[in-house]
Amino acid sequence: MTTSANDVLQSTQTELEKLVSDLRALMANKDFDGVPEIKMLRQRLDDGLHNARDSAVRAAQEAARQAKDAARAADRYAHDEPWRVAGAAMAVGALVGFLLARR
């Protein structure tokens, strides 16, 4: 993953953890212990938070796996077709040089 993708992922994870912490603090408030509906709501919120955290972890793991798979495929291609990769890199470099020279 690129640095910006890592930053976004880290920021999202931090925000999710803050939200979970705030919700847990609210659910731990003993002032609401006498209300049965609040007890059920606490359980549903706790279950939902657990499911959301699991989903976020699975999504992050899948994204990391896909990034590794793409990197491996690119690496295999570069090793299998080095002249094509070198040619493509040279073509891109020539195009960038041409565009920069026109400025």
Structural domains in the chain (count): 1
Which segments of the chain have a pLDDT < 70? 1-3, 5
| pLDDT score of 67 | 92
| pLDDT score of 14 | 85
| pLDDT score of 66 | 93
Residue type (1 letter), 101? A
Residue of 77, 81, 79 whose CA lies nearest to 69? 77
Q: Which domain holds residue 24?
A: 3-102
| pLDDT score of 47 | 87
- The sign of the dihedral angle between the CA atoms of 22, 28, 30, 34 is positive
Within a 10 A sphere around the Cβ of 32, how many other Cβ atoms?
14
Q: Outline where 1-103 has alpha helix (H).
A: 3-27, 36-80, 82-102
Provide the CB-side half-sphere exposure for 90 (13 A, CA): 6
